[in-house]
Amino acid sequence: MTDRIMLSVKDWIESRDFDDVSIDIRKDLIVVSGTVAFKFYYEGYETILSDKFTLKILVYRNYPEKIPDIVELDNKIPDDFHKNGRSLCLGTPLEMLLYANTNCVEAFLDKYLTSYLMSFMFYREYGICPYGDRSHGAQGKLEHLKEYFNVSEEDLVLQLLNLAITNDLGRNEKCCCLSGLKFKKCHLKEVEYLKRSISKHNLEGTYKELSNFVKI
C-alpha cells in the first residue's frame, strides 16, 4: 500500500527550502526535524521578509482526524505570540479539521504553517498580523464560525452549529438565518459539511463551550 501521508510529507519538504532535514518514521507518526528558510512577499504591504526556523513537525498517521503538531525549537517565537506550551497555535481546532478533511498534509502545512510563520515574522517587525489573527479562546472560535457561516450574530452561529448536531430542520423549511430562503438553498451546505467532517462529540463540546461563553 502506498504511504500517502509519507508521500505528502516528502512532497512538502521537497517544495520548501530546508537546510538539513531528518525524517523519523514511527508507528503512529512521522517526525520531521530541520531548519527551513522562508521568504515572504506581503501583498498589499509590498514588503519582503525572510528568516529561518528550526522546527519539529509531528504528522500523525490518522491525519486528518488528528492534525499535525509543530514545535519551534530555537525559541524565536515568544510565548506571547500564538503558542500553547511549545506548540504553535496555527488556528482553531475546528477550522483546521475542516480544512484537513479535504486537503492533504502538504496543503495543510502550506496553508497553516506558512500562514503562521509569515504572520509571526510580520508581527515581529511591525506589531500586527498582516492579514489578521484570532482572539484567544472561545471568542476566536466564534470568529471563525462567523466567517464559516458568513453571518455576524453569535446566536445564529450557535443555532447553525446546533443544527449540525440535532438535524432538526427540514431541507425545505426556511433557514434559521432569516434570509427567507429555504434551508437547502441557504446554510444547509455548511451545516452538512460540518456534520460530515467533525465528530458529533467534538461538535457537542464546541457547542457547549460557545453557548456558555455567549451567555456570559
Give the range of 139-147, 154-162, 165-173, 194-202 binding another protein by CB under 8 A: 139-147
Rule CB under 8 A: say whether 89 interacts with another protein: yes
Give the range of 57-65, 89-97, 151-159, 179-187 binding another protein by CB under 8 A: 89-97
The span from the first CA to the last CA of the chain, in angstroms, equals 51
Residue with smaller CB distance to another protein, 132 or 180: 132
Considering only residues 3 to 32 of the shown chain, the ones binding another protein according to CB under 8 A are 17
Rule CB under 8 A: say whether 98 interacts with another protein: no
Minimum distance, C-beta of residue 200 to another protein, in the bound complex (Å): 22
Rule CB under 8 A: say whether 118 interacts with another protein: yes
Q: Which long-range contacts (CB under 8 A, 24 or more apart) does 202-210 make?
A: 202/93, 202/94, 202/97, 203/161, 203/164, 203/165, 204/165, 206/94, 206/141, 206/161, 207/158, 207/161, 207/162, 207/165, 209/138, 209/141, 210/138, 210/141, 210/142, 210/145, 210/154, 210/157, 210/158, 210/161
DSSP E strand stretches across 61-163: 69-72, 83-84, 87-88
By CB under 8 A, name the one of 7, 24, 47, 185 that touches another protein.
47
By CB under 8 A, name the one of 48, 196, 215, 216 that touches another protein.
48
The site for another protein (CB under 8 A) is made up of: 17, 37-44, 46-48, 50, 81-84, 88-92, 95, 99, 111-112, 114-116, 118-120, 129-137, 140-141, 144
